[in-house]
């Protein structure tokens, strides 16, 4: 179990005064901030020590950084800076415990100077977010790491590196104009030019980077081409020819044949269990992807075919080129086949690339996959290649230690050909002279001694690494002895979940170890984005599962709550570099925790469950109120109980809290000539809240009731207006029906799909209007859009209404932002409403007067979150009004019913 924090009571109070809720002593949280993406072998872990910080803090300003370092210096408490921890060199490990400084909240773009083509950002800004921001000014990044969806500007400066765009641009440090740095004394100093030598690649050992000013470039279309080469020597000749001809290429990256093979075997992203893109099969060759500006197309493609032919290579299809470019940050898809990877990363002169790769292939008999990039003007005065290699392994097995020894093999091969390690961090601090050069190391030592005599900042990194460095030196000397053990260990490649591990289902156990901890999910996860703590992020939960399976973490209340808390938006599924089925795994884990193990769920779910058993809904309302929305003018043709081809299921929130949705949908269906009826009081909740609560038994009981009621109604088709209900009936019900042996042959449609079809066929037309043009924007609800793939039918309905202009939100379609509903609303309404306000502010920024939504739960969120001046209207309400119907505003009823339901959130919970 996790030990107690060594922070004294007085120190805790001082930190709490500085950071309030942005400081954590929670054992679970501290554990999550004590690792990076590497899976260190079990034999080496004792040499690193127990990397468990005593506290984690999240500064939100440079002033808070200043106060923190002064406090740390006065108390002799080590500080370990942490960006997104997307590296595997141990640079963020708190080897002397102390306080981890999480830069998550220092994420503001401070200034863009389009004339000078520079940008100034806080250190915690993520690269992909910065690229999006620059696009608005017609600018783009000069270069960025392959981990750009999850890594930070400050982190890359602190570690150093090359990435996409480095063929032309070189190493990142050469594009940094200045950095503002907080020194251990609390002094804030700006470093520029040659002064950056004691900050760049120093891993925060000499100062905490608070802001960075870097050069950017004009935005241009990027075009790509792909080349297949038979071996590494042909690849080397191709790269040398491109350098020699000075082709205006911006980026040149490549993979080896083993990487191509594993990419072909890796799982595809899915939506509701179905692959979303078509698989692009890669040839078994060295595949080079070159990227260049659109304006240089003729200059590149006019020469490249000749160079390719002269190097015994071939141009590959545009489809392969586009695929490799679009997946340039998705290297970790292969981790699903491991489920662990042993990394090795080196820099070699381009002139030795073929020899290095050939020798590695001779001496490393395990399946070594490589991704590389070429730098035209390298840091040592000649072209260089950076090689990032991975060997599939399984960190849970003892043999992982032997496979790890092959890292030393690749390192020695690179060094023998004039190469060096990629960076230092903790693990290769003993090789700092090779990485940085003797003169840089001397300057760093002198500066460190001057500004940080007590070793407060990130101790153990870059300049000294104690026992681990000694062990690696011994290992390197014994490399020839260790190599056979690493080579002859049996390595299996491919997903192979076998049995549950400590009550975790077998496939979820495999996924937990397959998670690369890349952090791509954190940037899109609304739960994490609002709270800021790793325990609320998908990668944090995967890590907690690993710790639980290893016996280092139990199911206490805080861990269970973290596992339960999720908006179910599925944004993480789209972002995951290993294409893990994250949301589906969380849904199953809720059942494991609550139904199978008897852990308590959130109190509000208990009230909902009681209401569902008694009244068939989760809103604590009498069943008799379910049909109160039906107007007299529709009763004659569509009253409950009538036989009709189409059955309209209203859902609970619409028929109890937001009745304008039911009214609007019914009027639209009627106007379109759809013969429909409803179940009336026989309709029960779809059951999604019970799945979220982990109450699987009640969900199944409810599912059986609903399927039986629909069958007895005799309808051949269901139409739904609620996205969550649609998701349940269209996808979840059939899956469970198959498990339960229930026949399910019901056609399910969202009403916008049905209406879009009749509009396109010319069978339904909205009347002309003389009203002034209205500008509206549309919110893609998570369950309708990202989860179910329904994007265009709602837009077609809006565009069919005369006098309406539709403008898109900044984040739309698959990138749409979650309203903050789901379990997040149940667990912490403050967090949920903050997420809703993000969408409202985005809507207001479009210049629209109205935010249109089709989700009753999203609308509830938007209305409860507060008025920012933009009107929130349901799509069915909006469209029915265009037919001349005057529908009620549900806002007052929403606030009343939510207040009643929210009062149950504070009921006592069993321990």
CA distance 887 to 881: 7
Predicted confidence at residue 468, as pLDDT, reads: 79
Please report the pLDDT score of residue 23 as a whole number. 97
pLDDT in tens, 648-695: 999 999 999 999 999 999 999 999 999 999 999 999 999 999 999 999
Range 153-159 average pLDDT: 98
Predicted local confidence at residue 910, as pLDDT? 63
pLDDT of 606 higher than 60: yes
Rounded mean pLDDT, 687-705: 96
Q: To which residue do tokens 């309400």 refer?
A: 877
pTM over 0.75: yes
Compute the average pLDDT of residues 508-520.
Answer: 95
Residue-range domain boundaries for the chain:
111-200+208-218, 221-255+268-326, 506-596, 603-759, 764-903
Residues 333-354, mean pLDDT to the nearest whole number: 92
Above pLDDT 70, what percent of the chain? 99
Reading the block at residue 810, the tokens are: 């900044």
Pick 603-759's CATH classification: 3.40.50, 3.30.1240, 3.30.1540, 3.30.200: 3.40.50
pLDDT at 909: 67
> What confidence score (pLDDT) does residue 825 get?
81
Quick check: 122 and 106 in contact, CB under 8 A?
Answer: yes
Alpha-helical segments (H) within 478-537: 479-488, 506-514, 520-524, 526-531
**pLDDT above 70: residue 50:** yes
Q: pLDDT tens digits, residue range 88-119?
A: 889 999 999 999 999 999 999 999 999 999 99
Tens digits of per-residue pLDDT, 459-478? 999 987 677 778 888 888 88
Can you say whether the dihedral through the CA atoms of 591, 596, 598, 599 is positive or negative? negative
- pLDDT tens, position by position, 389-440: 998 888 888 888 899 899 999 999 999 999 999 999 988 888 999 999 999 9
Residue 369 has pLDDT above 70, yes or no: yes
- Calpha distance 414→360 (Å, rounded): 9
Q: Say if residue 830's pLDDT is above 90.
A: no
Which SS3 state, helix, strand or coil, does residue 340 take? strand
Which one of 3.40.710.10, 3.10.129.10, 3.20.10.10, 3.30.465.10 gives the CATH number of domain 111-200+208-218?
3.30.465.10
Looking at per-residue pLDDT, the higher value among 530 and 858 belongs to: 858
Q: Quick one: pLDDT at residue 151?
A: 97
Q: What CATH number does domain 221-255+268-326 carry, 3.30.1650.10, 3.20.20.70, 3.40.30.10, 3.30.70.3450?
A: 3.30.70.3450
pLDDT at 272: 76
* Residues 8-43: tens digit of each pLDDT: 999 999 999 999 999 999 999 999 999 999 888 888
Two domains, one topology: 111-200+208-218 and 603-759? no
> Using only C-alpha atoms, what is the Rg of the chain?
29
Cα–Cα dist 404/900, whole Å: 58
Architecture in CATH of 764-903: 3-Layer(aba) Sandwich (3.40)
Complete edge-to-edge strand list for the sheet that includes strand 286-293:
314-315, 222-229, 286-293, 251-255, 369-375, 384-393, 340-349, 420-421
**Residue 775: helix, strand or coil by DSSP?**
strand
What was the pLDDT predicted at 3?
Answer: 62
CATH architecture of structural domain 506-596: Orthogonal Bundle (1.10)
Q: What is the mean pLDDT of the chain?
A: 94
Q: List, for residues 541-585, the tens digit of each pLDDT value.
A: 999 999 999 999 889 888 899 899 899 999 999 999 999 999 999
- Supply φ then ψ for residue 764, to 5 degrees: -145, 120
Helices (H), 569-728: 571-575, 582-591, 603-615, 632-638, 652-656, 659-671, 688-693, 696-713, 723-727
- C-alpha span between 345 and 351 (Å, rounded): 18
pLDDT at 1 over 60: no
Asked if residues 839 and 766 have their Cβ atoms less than 8 Å apart, the reply is no
Render pLDDT for 442-452 as a digit per residue (tens, 0 to 9): 999 999 999 99
Q: Which of 178-182, 321-325, 424-428, 646-650 has the lowest mean pLDDT?
A: 424-428
Indicate whether 337 pLDDT > 80: yes
Using DSSP's 3-state secondary structure scheme, residue 723 falls into helix
Please report the pLDDT score of residue 53 as a whole number.
96
Position 4 scores a pLDDT of 64
Do β-strands 251-255 and 850-853 pair in parallel, antiparallel, or remain unpaired? unpaired
The Cα 562–Cα 559 span in angstroms is 5
**pLDDT digit string (tens) for 730-776?**
999 999 999 999 999 999 999 999 999 999 999 999 999 877 789 99
Q: Strands of 235-362 (E only): list them.
A: 251-255, 270-271, 274-275, 286-293, 314-315, 340-349
Query: DSSP letter string over 248-266?
Result: --SEEEEE-HHHHHHHHHS
What are the pLDDT digits (tens) for 621-641?
A: 999 999 999 999 998 889 888
């Amino acid at each position: 179990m996790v030990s107690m924090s060594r922070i004294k009571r007085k120190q805790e109070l001082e930190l709490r005064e500085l950071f309030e809720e942005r400081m954590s002593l929670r054992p679970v949280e501290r554990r999550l901030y004590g690792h990076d993406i590497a899976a260190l072998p079990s034999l080496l872990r004792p040499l690193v020590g127990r990397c468990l910080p005593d506290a984690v803090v999240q500064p939100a300003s440079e002033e808070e950084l200043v106060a923190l370092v002064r406090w740390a210096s006065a108390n002799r408490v080590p500080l370990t800076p942490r960006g997104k921890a997307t590296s595997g060199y141990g640079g963020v490990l708190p080897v002397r415990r102390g306080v981890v400084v999480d830069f998550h909240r220092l994420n503001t773009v401070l200034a863009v100077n389009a004339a000078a083509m520079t940008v100034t950002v806080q250190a915690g800004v993520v690269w992909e977010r910065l690229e999006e921001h620059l696009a608005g000014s017609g600018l783009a990044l000069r270069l960025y790491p392959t981990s750009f969806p999850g890594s930070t500007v400050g982190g890359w400066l602190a570690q150093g590196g090359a990435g996409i765009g480095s063929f032309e641009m070189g190493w990142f440090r050469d594009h940094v104009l200045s950095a503002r740095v907080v020194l251990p004394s609390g002094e804030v100093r700006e470093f520029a030019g040659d002064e950056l030598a004691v900050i760049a690649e120093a891993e925060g050992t000499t100062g905490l980077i608070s802001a960075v000013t870097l050069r950017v470039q004009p935005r241009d279309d990027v075009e790509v081409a792909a080349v297949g080469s038979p071996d590494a020597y042909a690849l080397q000749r191709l790269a040398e020819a491109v350098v020699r001809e000075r082709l205006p290429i911006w980026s040149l990256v490549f993979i080896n044949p083993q990487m191509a093979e594993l990419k072909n075997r890796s799982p595809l992203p899915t939506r509701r269990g179905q692959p979303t893109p078509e698989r692009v099969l890669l040839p078994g060759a060295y595949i080079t992807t070159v990227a260049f500006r659109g304006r240089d197309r003729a200059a590149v493609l006019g020469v490249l075919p000749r160079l390719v032919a002269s190097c015994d290579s071939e141009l590959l299809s545009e489809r392969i080129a586009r695929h490799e470019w679009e997946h340039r940050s998705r290297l970790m898809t292969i981790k699903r086949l491991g489920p662990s990877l042993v990394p090795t990363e080196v820099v070699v002169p381009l002139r030795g690339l073929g020899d290095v790769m050939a020798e590695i292939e001779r001496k490393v008999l395990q399946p070594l996959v490589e991704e590389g990039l070429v730098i035209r003007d390298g840091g040592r005065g000649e072209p260089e290649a950076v090689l990032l290699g991975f060997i599939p392994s399984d960190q849970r097995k003892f043999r992982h230690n032997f496979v790890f020894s092959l890292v030393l093999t690749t390192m020695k091969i690179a060094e023998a050909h004039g190469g060096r390690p990629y960076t230092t961090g903790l693990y290769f601090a003993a090789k700092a002279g090779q990485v940085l050069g003797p003169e840089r190391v001397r300057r760093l030592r002198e500066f460190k001694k001057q500004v940080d005599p007590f070793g407060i900042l990130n101790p153990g990194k870059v300049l000294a690494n104690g026992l681990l460095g000694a062990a690696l030196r011994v290992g390197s000397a014994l490399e020839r002895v260790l190599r056979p053990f690493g080579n002859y260990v049996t390595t299996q490649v491919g997903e192979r979940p076998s049995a549950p591990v400590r009550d975790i289902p077998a496939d979820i156990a495999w996924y937990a170890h397959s998670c690369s901890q890349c952090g791509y999910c954190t940037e899109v996860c609304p739960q994490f984005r609002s709270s800021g703590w790793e325990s609320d992020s998908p990668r944090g939960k995967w890590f907690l599962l690993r710790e639980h399976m290893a016996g280092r973490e139990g199911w206490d209340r805080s861990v269970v709550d973290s596992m339960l808390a999720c908006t179910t938006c599925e944004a993480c599924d789209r972002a995951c570099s290993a294409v893990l089925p994250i949301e589906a795994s969380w849904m199953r884990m809720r059942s494991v925790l609550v139904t199978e193990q008897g852990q308590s769920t959130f109190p509000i779910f208990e009230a909902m469950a009681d209401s569902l058993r008694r009244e068939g809904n989760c809103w604590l309302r009498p069943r008799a109120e379910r049909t109160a929305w039906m107007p007299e003018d529709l009763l004659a043709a569509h009253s409950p109980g009538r036989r009709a081809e189409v059955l309209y299921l209203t859902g609970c929130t619409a028929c109890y809290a937001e009745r304008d949705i039911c009214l609007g949908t019914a009027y639209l269906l009627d106007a379109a000539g759809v013969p429909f009826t409803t179940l009336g009081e026989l309709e029960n909740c779809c059951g999604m809240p019970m799945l979220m609560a982990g109450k699987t038994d009640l969900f199944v009981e409810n599912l059986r009731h609903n399927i039986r009621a629909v069958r007895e109604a005799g309808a051949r088709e269901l139409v739904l207006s609620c996205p969550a209900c649609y998701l349940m009936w269209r996808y979840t019900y059939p899956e469970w029906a198959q498990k339960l042996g229930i026949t399910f042959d019901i056609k399910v449609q969202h009403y916008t799909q049905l209406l879009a079809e009749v509009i396109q066929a010319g069978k339904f037309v909205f009347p002309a209007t003389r009203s002034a043009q209205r500008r509206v924007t549309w919110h893609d609800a998570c369950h309708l859009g990202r989860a179910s793939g329904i994007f265009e039918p709602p837009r077609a309905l809006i565009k069919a209404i005369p006098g309406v202009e539709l403008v898109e939100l900044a984040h739309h379609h698959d990138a749409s932002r979650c309203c903050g509903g789901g379990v997040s609303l149940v667990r912490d309404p403050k967090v949920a409403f903050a997420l809703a306000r993000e969408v409202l502010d985005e809507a207001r920024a479009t210049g629209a007067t109205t935010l249109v939504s089709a989700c009753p739960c999203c609308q509830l969120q938007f209305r409860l979150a507060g008025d920012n001046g933009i009107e929130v209207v349901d799509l069915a309400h909006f469209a029915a009004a265009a037919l001349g119907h005057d529908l009620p505003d549900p806002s007052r009823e929403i606030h009343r019913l939510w207040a009643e339901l929210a009062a149950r959130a504070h009921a006592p919970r069993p321990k």
